[in-house]
Structure formats: C-alpha cells, structure tokens
Structure 1
Amino acid sequence: MGEEKQDVLLRDYYVGVDLGGTKMLAALIAEDGSIIAKEEIPTLAKQGAEAVLDRLGSLIESVLAAAPGGRGVVRGIGVATAGTLDTAKGVVTLASNLGWRDVAVASVLSDRFACAVRLENDATAAAVGEWLAGEGEGSPDCIFVTISTGIGGGIISGGRLIAGVNHNAGELGHISIDGNGMLCPCGNVGCLELYASGTAIGRRGAEHVRRAAESAGSGGALTRLAGGDPNRVDARLVAAAAAEGDAEASGILREAGRALGVGLVSILHLLNPQVVILGGGASHIGEPLLGPMREVIAERCLPSIREQVRFVSSALGSSAGAVGAALLMVRDQK
C-alpha cells in the first residue's frame, strides 16, 4: 500500500511558480501541497519579458528533472505574480516590478509544457498556500498579510477564497489609514503601505540619515551602519540599528507597527477572521514592529472580534506563493 501511494505522488504533481521583480522560484508540488523540489534564480527583468519567460521555462524544467525516479508528467503549472492580471486569459496586463504590459504568460508556458497554466495574484496565492498547507490549515476564516516592499494580502472567508470580480481582492496595502495623508501611486491617499511596509520603514530611515548628514550630527547607530549614505538604508538596516538600541530606528519601527495595527483593526472589523498569518520580509523584524501592532489592536479592536483571532507567522515563507499557485491548479482540475 505504501508503495502504491509513493507511485501516485511520483506521477501526480504540479509546478508552482512565484515570479517576482528580483527573483523567481519554481517548486514541484504534490497534490497535498508538500514540496518535492524547488529552485530559485534571479529574474533579470531588465532583459525583457521574452528572456524572462525563457529563463522561467528552463527553471521549471530543472525542478521537473528533480522528480523522484525522474518519472511523472506535470499536470499543471500555477504562476503567482504581482501586478494587474487578466486571470481568465492568463495575461499580466501591467506589472511595474517587471516592467511588463500585456504579457501572455499562460499561453507561453502552456505551449512549452503542453499542460494547463493558471495565473494568480501573488499575495492571493500565498494566502491559499498557507490556508491549505500552512498555518491556516483547517481554518475556514483566515487572512494572509504580506509585509514586504509593499503590503498585500489574501482573504479566505467561510472556506472560500475571496478573489473579487477580476481577482484583485485583498489589496490590503491600499486601505487608507489617513484621509489627509501622503499620495499613493495607486491614486488613493494615506494608504497603509505608505506607512507600514518595508519600503516605508527604509524611507523613514533614509530621511533620518539625510537629516543627520545635513546637520553634521552623529545620527546614531543607523547612520553608522549606513556609512552616512541614505541610499544604503532599508528596513533591515533600520531593524539592525534598533537592535543596537538606536532610539530613532526604534521609533521608526514603533510608528510603522502602530500604523499596521490601525490598518489591521479595520480589516478585523470587516472580516472577523479566526487566523491572521503574517509573512513577507519585514514581518521578520519581529517584536519591535509587531509589538506596537498588537498594542493598537488591543486598544481599538472590538473585544468580540479581537478575542477570537490569533496572529501567527507564515509557515511556508518564500514558498507560500508557489505552493498556493500549484494548489489552485489542483483545485481547478478536481
């Protein structure tokens, strides 16, 4: 019986892809969401869409070759990526991180691998991955929030993915937390990601280093770690300075954490989830960012909602989008 089960796993697998502006990851996924093999390479987006898709095809071939025993035929490919998507046609209509407009990802990969290809928003796919094979497993009501270059998310409610009419639901980073705030490139003002994303944290840190240079002040640990160069400052550097006791860096993280809490209170009130899964690079900053977030939630969220939710870190990490994209393909074929 065990041998028969192993045979099924060898034959019935899918490929999940997380296509980002900096790197792309492909994983060979079994029907239960387990990762058989995975590989990551730089995207090299400046080479253009044709070159990127050719490299992506080679990456997929590489993970397919890693199948145990070299056996099996891929049944489908799920691709998770950012940007504005036409999921029905499998087209990336606009992706600023890749410099793409109207790129037919699904048809290119389908022609190369002779299988079905599904395109999905990266944060939505990551939410599905965590829901079906990660920290949200078994919960019919969970939200995935990614805190990275921007802030995105995916929503599972009543055991169903909430995708929206054109699969753009879950743009949590564009909830306005300040009606008189900064103008966002999306056209809204006061968007959450302008205050609480990794980019926002890095921007605030760079402003501090720049002010210190202009005033000939010391600027503390943050300026020292940046070598006095504001262009070297990112969220990781701010976190490192805060870990050394830099008051300015700690204050930046506290303000970002409280802004995140303000946004999450609205999300909690709207959706009343059982689990909130936090992912993305900036989430790894930990307590200096997440502690203030929890403070705001304790202060402002309705007790009947707050007491029912638990906050957890992503179990799948950088693989969540690829796993979710593959599992959406599994569901399509059942």
Structure 2
Amino acid sequence: MSGEEKQDGSLREYYVGVDLGGTKMLAALVASDGSIIAQEEIPTLAKQGADSVLDRLGSLIEGLLAASPGGRGIVRGIGVATAGTLDTAKGVVTYASNLGWRDVAVASVLSDRFACAVRLENDATAAAAGEWLAGAGEGSPDCLFVTISTGIGGGIISGGRLIAGTNHNAGELGHITIDGNGMLCPCGNVGCLELYASGTAIGRRGAEHVRRAAEGASSHGALARLAGGDPDRVDARLVAAAAAEGDADASGILREAGRALGIGLVSIFHLLNPQVVVLGGGASHIGEPLLAPMREIIEERCLPSIRSQVRFVASALGSSAGAVGAALLMTRNDN
C-alpha cells in the first residue's frame, strides 16, 4: 500500500481500532501511546448482511487513512472489538446476536483488503485494555473495567496482564448470579446481574411502574408524566430524569439497581482483589443515585482488607475505549 513519507523517508504507519456494534461502528487511527489521530462513526446497518457491513467498514478505514494528518500511510495492524462468540485464532465471529452473524471471517476479509494483521477481541475486553493502557486505569497492574449499559460487561487486568480467557470471553460480569431463584436470563442462567442492574433492567422496571400507573395501580409521579403515560418510552435515562425531579419510585428503582450492582461487585472483588475499578457505559453516567447504593453494599459486605484497596474512577476514553484498546493490543501483538 502506498503512503506519504515522513521526514526521514520512511512511510507513516498506523494502527486501526474498530468497535463493531449492532447499531454503529467506530473506527479510529491510534498512535502507539493511545492517542487518537482520527476517528469516525457510522451506522452498522447490520440487516444489510455481513458482506455489506465489512465492505462499508473497509471504506470507513480507507477514508480515515486518506483524511489523516500527513496523508495516507501503511496500516500496520487492525484490531476489531465486537460482542458475541469469537474464534480469535481464526479471526471468525462464530455467533453475534446483535449483528445477526454466524461464522463470519472478519479477519481474512480485512487482511486481504489492507494486507496487514487483523485481531478480533471481545468488545468489553478491548475496552478494558484501552482504559488500562491509555485511560483511567493506566499504570495499575490490577484493574477491573465495568461497563453498565444495555447489559453489563467487563474486562480484567491482573498482575499486569490482560485476562482474556480460553476463547477471549472472560469478563462476562453481567452473567454472575446474584439471585439463585431469580429471573430467567436469555443466556440460560437465572438471576444474572444484568437482569437487575443494567440500563435495560432500569428501563424495564421504570416501564412496569408507568404501566401500573396507567392502570391506576400505582402513583402518577414524574416518571409517568415524562413518559406521557407510555411505558414504551421509558429507558434508564428517563428514570434518572424522573429521579432528579424527586420521583420516589424512580429513585427506588435506581437504588435497587445500585444495590444489585454492589452485590455482584462484592463477589468479583473477593475473587480479583482489584486496585482500580473503571466504570463506563451509558448507565454509569446516572451517577450518585445509582453509585451511592452500590458503594453502600460494598462497604457492608466486602472484606475490609479488599475494599480498602479499591479506587473507583470514571472511564476516560468513553465510547472510544473499545477501538483504542483493540488498536493498542495490535501494537503489542502485531507479529
């Protein structure tokens, strides 16, 4: 691939990080120190099929390279962060429900197009790597990344090593059981953490309240008003907005979600003894109405020798964490 020369006559080299989701995909050119040279996000349009998505992703990467400072250079490696079940050795997405994919050879398609190494990584693991190598967890040898969003996921750094697991699916924090007699999860387990503490769970509880209010079975507070009486309009952000207006029911929903999150984290802390916990994902932005009850449970139930070492920090990279992490993992594994 042709590229513009640097002052010493060598071609500029780039690493590309991709966060491939069911709704949108983000691609970034990332320097070896984790700084983002350029990035762009476009809709995934997953219903158009895998071939179309990968072709558009290739065009997105080419556009970034062409528009980057210094002109087009050599792609040294591409890291792709995505959800689902992965065969990382072969670079294949074996199953991804959010994309509707089965056995899609992502790595070979992109490596043929860009003539470089391509690495697949679990999206939460990649985000953890981004925060650890260039974000809020930088410098910590024992770091836990927790994303609270549609579901709950995470990534683990222990002893200065990224813990990926046998097939790179370690960190499924959302499927830790916190209620052995609880709700059935789509994963097949019961009582999974994300059924009680994710953004989806908060929205579901809020919708149930609005539905009961419409039927006259509960009070008509700020949540029902903000939803216009329509349960389908309720999500975690609406519940948070109602709580900010003093809605007791909305505040109670957030408190219960925060307590559930704390219960799950206590077990994780006892297993991993982390130094830094990075909180990311849209629902984490709810802030104290969710996080204060989480901390209360941790204070009550976690062994003092473990909880005293934990420092909570907010994600520094935000929605770019997965792409940055995927790219930086290529700088460490690009041979």
What is the TM-score when the length of structure 2 is the normalising length? 0.96
CA distance in 2, matches of 1:183, 1:116: 40
Match of 1:95 in 2: 96
Q: Does residue 248 of the first structure (1) align with residue 249 of the second (2)?
A: yes
Which residue is 1:54 aligned to? 55
Report the CA distance shift for 1:319/1:10 in structure 2 as closer, same or farther (over 3 A).
farther
Number of residues of Structure 1 aligned to a counterpart in Structure 2: 331
8 Å contact from structure 2 (residues 209, 218) kept in 1: no
Q: Tell me how far apart the structure 2 counterparts of residues 214 and 118 of structure 1 sit (CA, whole Å).
A: 52
Report what 1:183 is aligned to. Answer: 184
Query: Compared with structure 1, are the counterparts of its residues 154 and 224 closer, same or farther at alpha carbon in structure 2 (3 Å cutoff)?
Result: same
TM-score, normalised relative to structure 1: 0.96
Change (3 A) 1:211 1:321: same
Give 1:219 shift. 2.2
Contact 1:201-1:252 at 8 Å conserved across structures: yes
1:97 CA displacement:
0.8
Give the structure with the larger helix fraction. Answer: 1
Alignment match, 2:131: 130
1:278 aligns with 2:294: no
1:78–1:322 Cα contact (<8 Å) kept:
yes
Partner of 1:69: helix, strand, or coil? coil
Q: CA deviation at 1:218?
A: 5.3
In structure 2, the residue matched to 1:170 is 171
Map 1:1-334 to 2 at 5 A: 11-215=12-216, 219-333=220-334
Q: CA deviation at 1:63?
A: 1.4
State how far apart, in whole Å, the 1-side matches of 2:204 and 2:131 are.
30
SS in structure 1 at match of 2:70: helix
Distance 1:297 1:6, change over 3 A: farther
Q: Which amino acid aligns with 1:251?
A: G
Deviation by residue 1:284-326 (Cα, 9 ceiling, x = unmatched) = 0000000110000011111100001100000000000000000
Cα distance in 1 for partners of 2:7, 2:15 equals 15
1:55-92 deviation line (CA, Å, top 9, x unaligned) = 11111112112221204211010000001111111111
User: Offset at 1:12?
Assistant: 2.6
Q: Secondary structure at the match of 1:311?
A: strand
Using the aligned pairs only, state the percent identity. Answer: 89
Matches of 1:253 and 1:142 in 2, distance apart? 26
Alpha-carbon distance in structure 1 between the residues aligned to 2:270 and 2:235: 32
For residues 105 and 234 of structure 1, what CA distance do their matches in structure 2 show?
33
Cα displacement string for residues 162-202 of structure 1 (whole angstroms, at most 9, x for unaligned residues): 11111111000000000000111111110000000000000
Q: Provide closer, same or farther for how the CA distance between residues 245 and 232 of structure 1 changes in structure 2, counting only shifts above 3 A.
A: same
Tell me the secondary structure at the aligned position of residue 242 of structure 2: helix
Runs of 4 or more, structure 1, over 2 Å off, are 4-10, 216-219
Q: Structure 1 residues 103 and 247 mapped into 2: Cα distance closer, same or farther (>3 Å)? A: same
Structure 1 residues 147 and 8, CA, compared in 2 at 3 Å: closer, same or farther? farther
Structure 1, unaligned stretches of length 5 or more? none
Moved more, 171-180 or 57-66: 57-66
- Any stretches of 5+ residues in structure 2 without a counterpart? none
Quick one: distance in 1 between partners of 2:118 and 2:130? Answer: 17
Q: Distance in 2 between matches of 1:230 and 1:321?
A: 32
Give 1:192's aligned amino acid: L
* CA distance in 2: counterparts of 1:226 and 1:172, whole angstroms: 31
Whether contact under 8 Å (1:12, 1:31) holds in the other structure is: no
Deviation string 1:86-137 (CA, Å, 9 cap, x unpaired) is 1111111111111111111111111111111100000000000000000111
